[in-house]
Amino acid sequence: MAEQTPAPTELWVERTGTRLYTGRSSRGAEVRIGSESVEGVFTPGELLKIALAACSGLSSDFPLSRRLGDDYDATIRVSGAADRENEVYPHLEETLELDLSELDAEAQERLVALVERSIDKVCTVGRTLKAGTDITLNITRG
């Protein structure tokens, strides 16, 4: 029997207040999005940064868990100030925090190189940001 490809996840945002939106997925996920002046929300730029960090984490999960075990701890911090004149983030910096003290220096270097290659190869968000992308906006009128 052939495997069925799952339907693509639908994504959308709905306006839920002044400068406040809720992002939703057809899989039932929700995230509150708004401006920096609103408590308890992410800004769109923060979500971009979190998406990058999460993508790096997921892209490195397999090689790290193979070497460090399934219960390894990792934190990926991401930062980068916006250039408000041009409304872009000219530089984003990620820091992957790992405890590699169980490994000797050579094994640490090999693992770090493997993680960097894995992220460069399969992190779609990072690859898209580095390459740039075309965006099409369609406006429907009712």
pLDDT in tens, 78-111: 999 999 999 999 999 999 999 999 999 999 999 9
Q: Hey, how many other C-beta atoms are within 10 angstroms of the C-beta on 9?
A: 9
Side-chain-side CA neighbours of 33 within 13 Å: the count stands at 17
Cα–Cα dist 70/127, whole Å:
26
Token pair 């075990």 is found at 69
By percentage, how much of the chain surpasses pLDDT 70?
99
Q: Specify the pLDDT at position 38.
A: 92
Report helix, strand or coil for 82. coil
Q: What is the mean pLDDT of the chain?
A: 96
Q: What is the pTM of this model?
A: 0.91
If residue 79 lies in a helix (H) or strand (E), which one and from where to where? Answer: strand 74-79
5 vs 17, more confident? 17
Side-chain-side CA neighbours of 74 within 13 Å: the count stands at 23
